[in-house]
Amino acid sequence: MNILIDRLPTEVEGLELNTDFRTSILFELLMQDKDISNEDKVALSINLYFNRQPKSTEEIEKMTKAIIWFYSCGNKKKELKDNEEEIVKKERKRKQIYSFEQDDFLIYSAFMEQYHIDLNEANLHWWKFKAMFDGLNDNILFSKVMGYRSIDLSKIEDKKQRDHYARLQKHWALIDSRSAEEKESDFANALW
């Protein structure tokens, strides 16, 4: 699927789903909630995207695959083979550099500043939102904050500069440090 030439999906394998960006943000927040069981996450996710419960185990599997495909904007997950444990460990170490919950004001203002879009009133397909989110300019505060969070302080030799970025990281620190891939992986693990 190519966002430039193909119509954005409103259904996956015959299953019509809620494509509003808010749904996928709620899905990501749901995956981050450690107080909700994996079984409940699956049921709540299905209800979020399809507004109904499945009739069979096969339908649960079909719906969850559709959610993962849609949420990841059509990107196919690579198959984990012999080195599955190594890949999972590497993914767990990746830093989370944004949070839809904690960065809501920064994200809102970034979209207003760059795109002149009021996210509180906007009707955006998740894939459009994600493309714009990924395309935010470096000079916007939210992009700078994500940059601060992603800096590997151990690679900065100058002590003054390292201390400066350490203070910025502390100031802009997130509570949940899982990456988007970890959240997606946690959801996939909840399903199987």
How many CB atoms lie under 10 A from the CB of residue 29? Answer: 14
Q: Can you give the pLDDT at residue 185?
A: 73
**Would you put residue 67 in left (φ > 0), alpha (ψ -120 to 50) or beta?**
alpha
Residues 6+ apart with CB under 8 A from 94: 179, 181, 182
Residue 15 has phi, psi (to 5 degrees) of -100, 115
Sequence letter at residue 66: A
- Which one is predicted more confidently, 83 or 162? 162
Q: Can you give the pLDDT at residue 129?
A: 98
Q: Can you give the pLDDT at residue 3?
A: 92
Distances (CA, A) of 31 to 22, 42, 92, 93: 14, 9, 15, 18
What percentage of the chain has pLDDT greater than the value 90?
Answer: 76
Q: How remote is the C-alpha of 130 from its chain's centroid?
A: 9
What global pTM score does this model have? 0.81
Confidence of residue 188 (pLDDT cuts 50, 70, 90): confident
Q: Can you give the pLDDT at residue 86?
A: 53
Range ranked top by mean pLDDT from 27-36, 92-101, 120-129: 120-129
